[in-house]
Structure 1
Amino acid sequence: MQNTTAVPILSPVLAPGALRAEAELMAAEAAPRRFAVCAMDYDESDAVVLAWGQAFRDGRVTLVGDAVPVRGTFSSVRSALRVCRALGAPLHVAWVDPEPEG
């Protein structure tokens, strides 16, 4: 007996250029947003980049030290900042890319 109620699902076949364009759009939408963690010295009107980070859409953050020895993956920007707060200086998150929503 043959099942005649199932509707076959046809996958669209994209031309190579269209597939590349789709991949580039997907990458742009899902790209992590870059930021720097800066230590602020308001008395001296000075700042230094402590670490560079990437914030992903699911909230995860990667952080790599520039002026501090830190490297890791964190659940949020806030949790990543904990490792930089040990220095005792006021911190500022400077977004290189537009800040993620939410």
Structure 2
Amino acid sequence: MYTYDILDHESFEGKEFYQQKAYFIWHIMIDQQHQGKGLGKLAFHKMIEEIETLPLGDSSYIALFHHQDNLTAKSLYTSFNFLETGIIQDESIMMIKSIGKKND
């Protein structure tokens, strides 16, 4: 799994996790005063568009976790075709979205 940080591309870029080629979204946060304005959806859309270009190479899926009580996050991720995996870790639910591989 590869991580991709839109704020600091040096921290995690290209590191492999769990020996699987995937992109992992660690966090997406919108300041409380800007919530409810569609900015999270816009930012997430831009993030997904960038990841789907496979900037760090071939990948099978995008993965993320959301807190089990955060129904707003779950709704957002579901609207982008993320599916729950059944994996729960520390009260957070893992979701994934399949993405295509580059054809060389």
For the criterion TM > 0.5, the same-fold answer is no
Rg (Cα) greater in structure: 1
Answer 1 or 2: which has greater strand percent: 1
